[in-house]
Structure 1
Amino acid sequence: MDRAVVHAIERSPRASWKSLGDVIDVDPATVARRWARLEREGLAWVTCYPLLTQDPASAFVEISCRAGTTEDVAAAIARHPEALFVDIVTGGTDILITAVSADQAGLSDYVLRRLPLVSGVEDVQTQPVVTVHFEGGYAAAGSLERRAAVKLPTPEHGVLIRTNIEVDDLDWELCIALSRDGRQPVADLARAVGLSETAVGRRLRRLSSQGALRMIVELTPDAAGRSAIVWVYARVPAGARSLAVRRIAEMPGVRTISSIAGPENLAFKVALPHLSALDDFETRVSEIEPDLVIADRKIVLRQVRLMSRLIDPLGRAIGVLPIDLRARGR
């Protein structure tokens, strides 16, 4: 039942406990209790990725560390507001981070000036993200019957493009609060930002309808039954990229797909049941897109930060870091 609860919340992250219970066919109190336990144990959570900037910039940054310092370096970087994903990986580098800033100037400052000064860092290689084609997916997909899932309110997850809507500091404060807990009741959000519940509800509806909120449910790999996380770098002809993205996005376990500016032009992350499934996954990719050439793979040895959560060596969330793309670390 836990995975059914997660899948229902993935479908509609802010649906009421009653709506979720009706879909799963259990009482609302049971749904709320099971979700509270999953959160408490660091197995699942809802976060919000604010899409409020007109010129966001992101990059995959590969970091090489002095011998024996990798875990300490990763722990330090995970505290940086720009480092939304921090993975210790195999291959020619030690750490792979997804760095995001409100603008290109902020991203450049981060990778050129601040990252190299972290104690233990020996080399920094950056591949800018050109386009995020796909992000999220359903970690607990298949846990609900299709006819049950469609009963939920239409998901409002936001769109992965720059936004030109007018926003103010209160909009940002709402998004930051939701990044801590995407299911916070409107009453709690109202107290946090000093507005009435009516005003908060109105702002949330406006931000959601204009695609300025990206609500994401995260489920730890072990809880999802997909303990092997792999970053794949590939080359694909520009004319074949759109079709390749659509086909890869439909494959089970794919979590994100981005076009990048580097030796390869496509990067995607996949969560597999076990590492031995990687061969079958790559075979399937080559079958559905013969023009795509896989150039590199990085196995995630340990996730250190996953969006708004710090992750322990067992893969569970142990701390909350709000997502504020405007922030710049020291």
Structure 2
Amino acid sequence: MECGMLRKGPRRDATLSRDSRETRRNAPPQTAQDRAAPELDELDRGIVHALQIHPRAPWTLVGEVLGVDPVTAARRWQRLEDAGLAWVTAHPRLANSRLVATGVIEVDTDPGAAANIARALAADHAVVNVKLTAGGRDVIAEVQVRDLNELLRLTTRLFQGTPGVRATRAHISTGMPTEGSRWRLRSLDSDQCARIDAALPPSARPADDTAVGWDALDTRLLELLSADGRMSMRKLAAAADVGLTTVRRRLQSLLPSQVSLRCDLARSPFGWPQSAVYFASVPAQHLEETSRVLSGFREVRACAIIAGPHNLVVDVWLRGLSDVHAFEAHLSRRLPRLTIDDRSLVLRTVKHMGRLLDEDGRSVGVVPLLHPHGPRSSDAGNADLADTSPAAGLDLHTV
């Protein structure tokens, strides 16, 4: 368990109404000045770490573990969320390759076309992540679809005849040894981590994702939780137009098998201003061991096993530009069988697990990631969830 050193402090008193803890979804669009990033302290980091472990942890628990009043914890989280610095979101849990095809797509573009192509990709529900990069490709996108036939149709729809696209290369993922929801800030100590983890309901713990049943209510709940992963049961029921008991029962069914919740954050304000993607190779007989070791590095956010010229794609967060090669050298020392074939520096992350990000990496909107086996929701339903403020600078209509 990845834990750090935040210790409990004196308990603080605060008086805020219950309503002030809820996310303000209907507020007018914020200006850049309104969204000025607050300075972060250890309490902010501790709250985010706690929600990385238990995304729907009650504020009473978070406050008790961190030694602050629950309302203080809720108020701090609200500030982080309003500034787009941290957020809780939902996505289909699709680790089982029998149920989904995941692809990593490299895109070469004409000069000046990369940003527009990245924006168009980000608007598609099947596109999970979009990065503008420097190096051997201009854009890297990750997609998740029902099967390989659907992947072929998707890439044809996205790229055939698209102005500015010079070439694409698609790599099929055959495994994901680690991914970003497992990454931790390491701001809490081991005791605090254990207390948060112990409070996870049984349904929130990993389970085999073998179920494929998916209906319109599941899709609606996924949309709502994509926009606000901490939305209360009552608000979920009202927004989905179903009873409270139905929502509780459905979430108990979805969370262990088909929906994951995660707390994500803007890289730079939390001390990780740089990101890079490494394309690497290792002999097949050492692939499992190598990927397991890679998953243990703090810098590694995600590691995908792929079928292609390389068999590993490693997504990392770094403290500075000089770490791009320093980390590569560290990998070579620890994993002498691993060969880094290529690398790209991430210039900007445009979309991250369905969230649209601005140039500073802050969340400014959402394009929900729909389940490949479920019905597609209407454009109108999606528009209600998207932040269309000028800060987003992104077209949210499906490509």
Q: TM-score, normalised by structure 1?
A: 0.93
Note the 1:15-26 alignment, pairs <5 A. Answer: 15-26=57-68
Question: Which of the numbers 187, 191, 201 marks the counterpart of 1:143?
Answer: 187
Q: Does 1:100 align with 2:126?
A: no
Q: Does 1:9 align with 2:51?
A: yes
Counterpart of 1:285, as a letter, is: L
Instruction: Report what 1:193 is aligned to.
Output: 240
**SS state at 1:275 partner:** coil
Q: Does 1:264 align with 2:310?
A: yes
The answer to whether the Cα contact below 8 Å between 2:211 and 2:258 also exists between their aligned partners in 1 is: no
> 2 CA distance for matches of 1:200 and 1:135?
28
Q: Note the C-alpha offset of 1:230.
A: 0.6
> 2 CA distance for matches of 1:179 and 1:234?
32
Identity %: 33
Cα RMSD (Å): 2.0
Question: Which of the numbers 249, 266, 283 marks the counterpart of 2:295?
Answer: 249
Question: Which of the numbers 61, 67, 77 marks the counterpart of 1:35?
Answer: 77
Note the 1:118-133 alignment, pairs <5 A. Answer: 118-133=162-177
**Alignment gaps of 5+ in structure 2:** 1-42, 378-397
Question: Which of the numbers 346, 349, 355 marks the counterpart of 1:300?
Answer: 346
Counterpart of 1:216, as a letter, is: R
Counterpart of 2:235, as a letter, is: D
Q: Note the C-alpha offset of 1:280.
A: 2.9
Q: Note the C-alpha offset of 1:232.
A: 0.8
Instruction: Report what 1:168 is aligned to.
Output: 215
> 2 CA distance for matches of 1:121 and 1:233?
21
Q: Note the C-alpha offset of 1:168.
A: 2.7
Q: Note the C-alpha offset of 1:215.
A: 1.4
The answer to whether the Cα contact below 8 Å between 2:99 and 2:212 also exists between their aligned partners in 1 is: no
String of CA shifts for 1:145-164, please: whole Å, max 9, x gaps.
110111112372646x7533
Q: Note the C-alpha offset of 1:62.
A: 0.8
Q: Does 1:204 align with 2:246?
A: no
Instruction: Report what 2:327 is aligned to.
Output: 281
Note the 1:41-60 alignment, pairs <5 A. Answer: 41-51=83-93, 55-60=99-104
String of CA shifts for 1:224-266, please: whole Å, max 9, x gaps.
2111101111111111111111111111121111111110001
> 2 CA distance for matches of 1:72 and 1:165?
35
> 2 CA distance for matches of 1:105 and 1:162?
21
String of CA shifts for 1:43-69, please: whole Å, max 9, x gaps.
111111113796211111111112122
CA 157–272 in structure 1, closer or farther in 2 if over 3 Å, else same: farther
> Which has the higher Rg, Structure 1 or Structure 2?
2
**SS state at 2:104 partner:** strand
Which consecutive segments of 4 or more residues in structure 1 shift more than 4 A? 137-140, 327-330
Instruction: Report what 1:312 is aligned to.
Output: 358
Greater strand percent: which structure? 1
> 2 CA distance for matches of 1:102 and 1:190?
28
Q: TM-score, normalised by structure 2?
A: 0.78
The answer to whether the Cα contact below 8 Å between 1:234 and 1:293 also exists between their aligned partners in 2 is: yes
String of CA shifts for 1:181-216, please: whole Å, max 9, x gaps.
11111111111222222221122122223x322212
The answer to whether the Cα contact below 8 Å between 1:116 and 1:124 also exists between their aligned partners in 2 is: no
> 2 CA distance for matches of 1:118 and 1:162?
35
> 1 CA distance for matches of 2:182 and 2:269?
13
> 1 CA distance for matches of 2:233 and 2:61?
17
**Alignment gaps of 5+ in structure 1:** none
CA 221–139 in structure 1, closer or farther in 2 if over 3 Å, else same: farther
Q: Give the count of matched residue pairs.
A: 328
Instruction: Report what 2:275 is aligned to.
Output: 229
Q: Note the C-alpha offset of 1:137.
A: 4.9
The answer to whether the Cα contact below 8 Å between 2:100 and 2:144 also exists between their aligned partners in 1 is: yes
> 2 CA distance for matches of 1:177 and 1:102?
22
**SS state at 1:9 partner:** helix
The answer to whether the Cα contact below 8 Å between 1:157 and 1:215 also exists between their aligned partners in 2 is: no
The answer to whether the Cα contact below 8 Å between 1:55 and 1:104 also exists between their aligned partners in 2 is: no
> 2 CA distance for matches of 1:129 and 1:98?
10
> 2 CA distance for matches of 1:149 and 1:58?
31
Instruction: Report what 2:115 is aligned to.
Output: 71
The answer to whether the Cα contact below 8 Å between 2:177 and 2:291 also exists between their aligned partners in 1 is: yes
The answer to whether the Cα contact below 8 Å between 1:82 and 1:100 also exists between their aligned partners in 2 is: yes
String of CA shifts for 1:153-179, please: whole Å, max 9, x gaps.
2372646x7533533322222122211
> 1 CA distance for matches of 2:304 and 2:182?
18
> 2 CA distance for matches of 1:232 and 1:112?
26
Counterpart of 1:170, as a letter, is: L
Q: Which moved more, 1:117-126 or 1:14-23?
A: 117-126
Counterpart of 2:280, as a letter, is: A
